Amino acid sequence: MTTTQLRAVLVPDEGESARSADYFRSPHHLRAEGVTHSLVIDGGAGGSLRLPLIVRPIDGTPYQDAVSPYGYPGGVVDGLGEVAKEAVDWRSTELVSIFVRDRVSGPRCFAGGTARNEVFFIDPRLPLEFREMHRRHMRRNTRLGFVSSYQPACEASREEQEGFKEVYRQTMDRDGATSRYYFSAAYFEELFSSPAAWLATTHAPDGCVASAALVVSSDDVLHYYLGGTADAYLVRSPSKNLFVAMTELCSTQGMPLHLGGGMQPGDGLEAFKRGLSNMRSRLYTHEIICKPEVYARLTEGDGDGGYFPAYRAPPC
């Protein structure tokens, strides 16, 4: 951990300074997410930390804040190690606050992160045995003619890409997802063209896409990033066969597969992923207040419900 005073600088370069070959800091993802800046913490001979950020106006005020792009981007850690947030002079950023989504495996950006929900992995180096119910459903689907496969997303046919988008849309509709999760055609084009993305698909016996997932490689981990199941085949749980294909993918790539977690602790989605996994961890975020006086004024003394920044908390 660093103990000397460091200075944070906000660079309006669309994340260029924080780019890497890892998907969540790749040009494809940063363009898709609309990243506007890089946060650079320069430790001189001690190294640097560079994070992609989306700078946003705070409605009704002259101020701005920033957030990491969606996913698990963390930052490019170049020798600086986990930075103590209190050891950084944030004033030159001119931001009220910064919310950082860290990577799911080290090195982390900052010390003392906030532990969020539990997440699950399939690690090909560890013993793996799916629950009996899952195995029974997988065998049944195989007998019925469901077929699973995976390939680089950029090599998938337009029909397969459109099939993915349709089952994803249907899943978001069923889940009552917010508009944030209805991505644009341009967003998907960036994803499909990334060399760090794979498309895994389970086809029904009639040839239609029953379930599909986009898997991306970032920081030596494969991430089950987006996925869904068609309404028409939901009763057959074809996503279970899809996880077999993704397990084969992580074995061939020699990387663990990050499944994510549930929508809420203890919900059915979390239980499902727990039953498929052989390793678990937690997500970490970092909440940085750059202008304490302004933050307190915007928050107006409440908002201690865990949402950050509190002045952006959705209404109850």
pLDDT for 52: 98
Which residues of the chain carry a pLDDT beneath 70? 1-4, 301-305, 316
Q: What distance in Å separates the CA atoms of residue 7 and residue 67, rounded to the nearest whole number?
A: 19
What crossing angle do the helices spanning 185-193 and 158-175 adopt, rounded to 10°?
130
What is the C-alpha separation between 42 and 78, in angstroms, rounded? 10
pTM: 0.92
Predicted local distance difference test score (pLDDT) of residue 276: 84
Which of 56, 83, 86, 72 lies closest to 22, judged by CA? 72
For the chain, which residues make up each domain, given as ranges? 6-115+284-312, 124-277
Assigned CATH class of 124-277: alpha beta
Quickly list H helices, 10-157. Answer: 27-33, 132-144
CATH topology of domain 6-115+284-312: Aminopeptidase (3.40.630)
pLDDT value of position 1: 43
Q: What is the DSSP letter of 170?
A: H
Which residues, in sequence order, are CB contacts of 129 under 8 Å at separation 6+?
278
pLDDT at 287: 97
pLDDT at 272: 82
| Domains 6-115+284-312 and 124-277 fall in the same CATH topology | yes
CB-CB neighbours of 81 under 10 Å: 17
Whole-number pLDDT of residue 4: 55
